[in-house]
C-alpha cells in the first residue's frame, strides 16, 4: 500500500514539477510512474558515438521568463542552443520561419493572402495569413503528413501566426533564454525529482486499490484512460523514429532539424541531426553523425501518445471527459495528456507552477520564490538520492 497526502501519477514534466513544488513547501508527496524510468517524454540517451539523442524528439528549451529560467537551471546547467530549422523546398534548403528575402523573391513585396473571409478550418486559416504558394510548399504537405488527414478537416486553432523574418535572424524562436541541459534531459529530470519518493513500474490505473491519496490525486495521464474510455477514445498522433549512424560523415545537414514538407520526398516529416545540438566543447571529440527520421502514425498505446488530435470531434469528446473530471473534488487531471493539449516545455512548467500554487493556496510568484530557496541545495545527477522503487 502506497499512501501520501498528495499522490502524483506520472513522472513527466508536469507531474514532476508539481511534485517538486509541493515537496519544497513541506507537503507529503509521492509519485507513481508506469514506465521503468522517470521523465515522461523528456528523456535522452547517448549513442555509442558520443552523440546525445532525445528519445522522443527534440526538446528545445526556451522561455522569456526569468522565473522559469531560474527554476529550470536549478536542476542543472544549460548551454546556449538556439534551434534553426530548414525545409527542403524545390530541392533546396529554405529557412523556416520564412525569410523576407525568400518571400520577396518568390511572390513579390506586395503579396496577398490566399484566402479572404472567416476561416472555417486549418487550411483557410493558414491561407488567410500567407500566399498560396508558401502554404503549398511549406505547410500543406507537412501538416497532412503530420496528422494523416486533409488540412481542411483540422481546426483553425492549429494555424500559427505567419512569421516573416527580416534580415539574418534565422532562429526558430526568439526567446530571451534558450538552451539544452549540459548533462542531458534524463539527468535533469532525475534532479527535478531528487529526494521525492517515486514508484516506477507502477501503473496507477491497474493498482488503484493499493495507492491511497489522503488529500488530492494529481493525474497526468490520458484523461480518457482514467475513465476507462467510457465515452470513447481520444485520438493522438505519435512519431516512429529511425536512427542512422554515418561514421565517416562529420555533418550531413547545415542545422539540427530539416523539415520535409513535400509528400513526394517520403512520409517522414523531418530529419534530425543531433550532432548540431551538442555543446561546442563536445563536438570536436565526436566522429561521425547520427540522423533520425520522424514519421507520424496513430498509436493505440498511450506510451506513444505525443500530439492531441486538433479536430472538432476530439475537442468535443475531451470536453465531455473534462466535465466528468470536474465532479471529482479530490482528483486533479492535468498536463498534456490530461488536458488534451500540446504544451511547449516552458508552457508546461508555467502551467504546473500555477497548479501547484492553487493547490497550496498561494500566489504563483510565492511558489516560485519558495522553490528558489532551495536553489543552493546540492543536486546530484545520479539517482542515488532519489527514492525510486520498482
Q: Which of 9-13, 107-111, 179-183, 324-328 has the lowest mean pLDDT?
A: 107-111
All 3 cell numbers of residue 294? 520522424
| Residue 372: per-residue pLDDT | 42
| Residue 212: per-residue pLDDT | 96
Burial class (CB in 10 A: 0-12, 13-18, 19+), 91: exposed
CA distance 195 to 213: 19
pLDDT band, residue 386 (cuts 50/70/90) = very low
pLDDT at 200 exceeding the cut of 70? yes
- 204-254 pLDDT, tens digit per residue, is 999 899 999 999 999 999 999 999 999 999 999 999 999 999 999 999 999
Interhelix angle 66-73/345-360, rounded to 10 degrees, is: 90
Residue 267 has a CB neighbour count (10 Å cut-off) of: 13
- 246-280 pLDDT, tens digit per residue, is 999 999 999 999 999 999 999 999 999 999 999 99
pLDDT band, residue 174 (cuts 50/70/90) = confident
All 3 cell numbers of residue 155? 481546426
Local structure of residue 233 (DSSP, 8 states): P
| Residue 171: per-residue pLDDT | 83
Residues 6+ apart with CB under 8 A from 63: 69, 72, 175, 176, 177, 345, 346, 349
| Residue 246: per-residue pLDDT | 98
| Residue 109: per-residue pLDDT | 87
Q: Which of 95-99, 191-195, 373-377 has the lowest mean pLDDT?
A: 373-377
> Average pLDDT, stretch 282-307?
94
> Average pLDDT, stretch 340-349?
95
| Residue 379: per-residue pLDDT | 30
| Residue 178: per-residue pLDDT | 96
| Residue 370: per-residue pLDDT | 44
Calculate Rg over the CA atoms of the chain. Answer: 22
Average pLDDT, the chain: 91
pLDDT at 348 exceeding the cut of 70? yes
Q: Which of 57-61, 170-174, 223-227, 382-386 has the lowest mean pLDDT?
A: 382-386
Domains (ranges, CATH) in the chain?
Answer: 2-78+181-230+309-389 (3.40.50.720), 98-158 (no CATH)
Q: What share of residues in the chain are helix, strand, coil (percent, to 5)?
A: 35, 25, 45
| Residue 169: per-residue pLDDT | 80
- 91-145 pLDDT, tens digit per residue, is 999 999 988 889 999 999 889 999 999 999 999 999 999 999 999 999 999 999 9
Local structure of residue 84 (DSSP, 8 states): B
Q: Which of 1-5, 83-87, 157-161, 301-305 has the lowest mean pLDDT?
A: 157-161
- 358-374 pLDDT, tens digit per residue, is 999 954 444 444 444 43
| Residue 362: per-residue pLDDT | 52
* Most distant CA atoms of the chain, gap in Å: 68
Amino acid at each position: 500500500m502506497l499512501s501520501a497526502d498528495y499522490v502524483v501519477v506520472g513522472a513527466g514534466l508536469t507531474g514532476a514539477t508539481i511534485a517538486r513544488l509541493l515537496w519544497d513547501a513541506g507537503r507529503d508527496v509521492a509519485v507513481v510512474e508506469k514506465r521503468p524510468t522517470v521523465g515522461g517524454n523528456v528523456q535522452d540517451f547517448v549513442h555509442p558515438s558520443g552523440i546525445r539523442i532525445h528519445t522522443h524528439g527534440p526538446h528545445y528549451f526556451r522561455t522569456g521568463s526569468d522565473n522559469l529560467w531560474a527554476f529550470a537551471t536549478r536542476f542543472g546547467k544549460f548551454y546556449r542552443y538556439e534551434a534553426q530549422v530548414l525545409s527542403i523546398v524545390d530541392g533546396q534548403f529554405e529557412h523556416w520561419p520564412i525569410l523576407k528575402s525568400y518571400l520577396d523573391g518568390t511572390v513579390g513585396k506586395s503579396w496577398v493572402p490566399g484566402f479572404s473571409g472567416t476561416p472555417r478550418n486549418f487550411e483557410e486559416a493558414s491561407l488567410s495569413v500567407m500566399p498560396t504558394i508558401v502554404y503549398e510548399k511549406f505547410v500543406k504537405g507537412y501538416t497532412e503528413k503530420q496528422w494523416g488527414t486533409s488540412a481542411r478537416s483540422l481546426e483553425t486553432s492549429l494555424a500559427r501566426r505567419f512569421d516573416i523574418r527580416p534580415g539574418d535572424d534565422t532562429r526558430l524562436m526568439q526567446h530571451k533564454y534558450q538552451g539544452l541541459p549540459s548533462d542531458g534531459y534524463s539527468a535533469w529530470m532525475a534532479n527535478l525529482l531528487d529526494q521525492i519518493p517515486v514508484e516506477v513500474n507502477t501503473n496507477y490505473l491497474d493498482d488503484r486499490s493499493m495507492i491511497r491519496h489522503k488529500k488530492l490525486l494529481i493525474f497526468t495521464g490520458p484523461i480518457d484512460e482514467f475513465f476507462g474510455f467510457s465515452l470513447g477514445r481520444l485520438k493522438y498522433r505519435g512519431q516512429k523514429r529511425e536512427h542512422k549512424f554515418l561514421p565517416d560523415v562529420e555533418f550531413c545537414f547545415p542545422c539540427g532539424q530539416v523539415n520535409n514538407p513535400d509528400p513526394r520526398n517520403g512520409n517522414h516529416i523531418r530529419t534530425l541531426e543531433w550532432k548540431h545540438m551538442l555543446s561546442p566543447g563536445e563536438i570536436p571529440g565526436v566522429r561521425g553523425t547520427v540522423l533520425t527520421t520522424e514519421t507520424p502514425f496513430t498509436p493505440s498505446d498511450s506510451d506513444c501518445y505525443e500530439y492531441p488530435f486538433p479536430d472538432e470531434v476530439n475537442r468535443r469528446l475531451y470536453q465531455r471527459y473534462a466535465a466528468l473530471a470536474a465532479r471529482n473534488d479530490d482528483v486533479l487531471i492535468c498536463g498534456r495528456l490530461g488536458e488534451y493539449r500540446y504544451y511547449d516545455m516552458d508552457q508546461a512548467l508555467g502551467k504546473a507552477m500555477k497548479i501547484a500554487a492553487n493547490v497550496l493556496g498561494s500566489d504563483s510568484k510565492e511558489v516560485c520564490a519558495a522553490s528558489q530557496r532551495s536553489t543552493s541545495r546540492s543536486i546530484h545527477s545520479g539517482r542515488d538520492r532519489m527514492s525510486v522503487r520498482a
